[in-house]
Chains A and B, each alone.
Chain A
Amino acid sequence: KAGVTQTPRYLIKTRGQQVTLSCSPISGHRSVSWYQQTPGQGLQFLFEYFSETQRNKGNFPGRFSGRQFSNSRSEMNVSTLELGDSALYLCASSLDAGGPTDTQYFGPGTRLTVL
């Protein structure tokens, strides 16, 4: 079974631009979560989608948004990019948003650089 895939793998943008990242979960998985990884802040939860609905949201500004499609694929969007948005963005999928025992499987990430 194919793992979680993320596109693109690398992205370079300039301040003020916007960006869209894509994530395809493992087949059959219905929950998709997004995380931001930076050297300073570590891994931080952005949001989680289940059945096309945002179920949970981390402490990030409204410039960060996401959505999930009927086939469980997900996109996240960052508008008005800032230098501090440079990070590795990781997507994770799980079979069911069944709570704490569910296991998340991560993709390779998208490396975003903001100049």
Chain B
Amino acid sequence: GNSVTQMEGPVTLSEEAFLTINCTYTATGYPSLFWYVQYPGEGLQLLLKATKADDKGSNKGFEATYRKETTSFHLEKGSVQVSDSAVYFCALSDNQAGTALIFGKGTTLSVSS
């Protein structure tokens, strides 16, 4: 079945460091891929998405490229801020009958000043 695997956290970085959170997926067909972020005590916010191979999603300095050959969608940011501290979820949607998302376990990012 479809699945998403994320790197285990927590990830601890200093402000202005480079961030990579790895995400790989298994899916039949051609899924759309998403990164969501969850701040403490809140719901999920869409960070970025890509709907086909080689698409690059970007938002707020974060980027991820849909790599079909490696079935990956790694999240990157060149310079993290303390305000980026949150839990990041990689997800895919591959359900032709609806929009059910399959999520990874989440990666906790902690950025210190």
Contacts and interface: CB of A to CB of B under 8 A. Distances in A.
B102 A103 contact: no
Interface in A49-66: 50, 55-56, 58
A31 interface: yes
A90 interface: yes
Contacts of B15: none
Contact of A101 (B43, B51, B104): B51
B17 interface: no
Interface stretch (A13-21, A67-75, A77-85, A106-114): A106-114
Interface in B81-107: 89, 91, 93-106
Nearest to B29: A100
Interface residues of A, number: 29
Nearest to A91: B43
Nearest to A93: B99
B100 A102 contact: no
Contacts of B106: 42-43
B103 A56 contact: no
B45 interface: yes
A109 B43 contact: yes
B98 A43 contact: no
Contacts of B96: 99-100
Interface string B7-47: 00000000000000000000000111010100000111110
A109 B105 CA distance: 18
A97 B46 CA distance: 17
Nearest to B49: A103
A104 B98 CA distance: 11
Interface in A4-39: 4, 31, 33, 35
Nearest to B102: A45
Interface string A86-100: 000010101001111
